[in-house]
Amino acid sequence: MASSQLKALRLLPTRSPSDLEQGTVVFDQVSKRVSLGGSRTLTVLDDLSLTIEAGSKIALFAASVETSRAFLNCLAGHEMVNSGDLLVGGSSSWLIGSRMPLMPVLTGRANAEFLVSVYGVYEDDEREVDFIRKLCGLGSSFDEPLEKYTSGMKDRLKLALSLAFQFDVYPVMRWDGWNCRADVPFMNQVRRLVDRRLEGRTLVAEASNSQNFALDYCNEGIVLKDGAIIYRGSLDDCAVLAKEAQAARKERSLSRHLRQHSDVEEDLQGTMDDLLEAPIFDGPQAPRPRQTVRQPAREVG
């Protein structure tokens, strides 16, 4: 497999997304750290420079889910980078496959109306709300609170909401239901709409959790390791490198885990040695003095 090493070059200074073609994404010396709990952090992007041309369809391979999610969250605008510039020409979708800003106490219609007020492009909001209602096919349940929905009903509403709006950039962590290959009329309709939505648009899809989706739509991949892109090229080559990176990460994690247990075992061994070296009394032990508990005197009425 021929490796493609990418150099982190300083890009030409671009200070406004309006300078970019719609759908173009520029990472200019971007660094991003995520918390792993407590004081532990993970550097998922380390001085990263990358240009994604408009209309590209890229599968994202990484050694950890935390890395993929942080990359896509930054692209979607859910999280801020720690340093550098991340510029997106045009509009970017929310991270598809993440928790959408849905409110369980509101009805499906009310949630749809809220998102239309934020992302809608038509003057007639009812046009997009009606599209969402028809696509999800929930009938009268569309006017019931989400807290009464089953998981399947919620998935249908999320799919309809994801397809209701046109964006220039689509970051995808997971596309629920895409791995189902059954001849379901609803999913066939969804696939036709996805084809139309992604035509000429930029797509960056996580390749581990949405493997079938990424293979269906992406024509190249990138591999993220230790905060840097180590390869950009064919999906097959990316998959091989990603598996190697994941295996190396698991080995490092196991080694760290074993070292921690080794330290604990050494401490326990020292404690056991101290106990075993303590003197043993074979003779009768003196009885412990009996403790007398005094009760308060009761008052006589």
Structural domain spans, the chain: 14-93+168-271, 104-166
For position 140, what pLDDT does the model report? 95
Q: In angstroms, rounded to a whole number, what is the distance separating the alpha carbons of residues 70 and 12? A: 25
3-state secondary structure of 215: helix
Q: What does the pLDDT average to over 278-288?
A: 60
Residue written as token pair 């994801």: 162
Mind listing the pLDDT tens digit for each residue in 104-131? 999 999 999 998 988 877 666 788 899 9
- Mean pLDDT, the chain, rounded, equals 81
φ and ψ at residue 29, rounded to 5 degrees: 50, 55
- The residue count of the chain comes to 301
Residue 12: in which H helix or E strand, if any?
none
Are the C-beta atoms of residues 246 and 209 closer than 8 Å to each other?
A: no
The reported pTM is 0.74
pLDDT at 81 over 70: yes
DSSP assignment string, 168-181: SEEEES--TTTT--
Please tell me the predicted confidence (pLDDT) of residue 11: 44
CATH 3.40.50.1000 for domain 14-93+168-271, yes or no, is no
The answer to whether 63 and 43 have CB atoms below 8 angstroms apart is: no
Residues 200-255 have pLDDT tens digits of: 999 999 997 657 788 889 999 999 988 999 999 999 999 888 888 777 666 655 55
> Phi/psi at 83 (nearest 5 deg)?
-160, 160
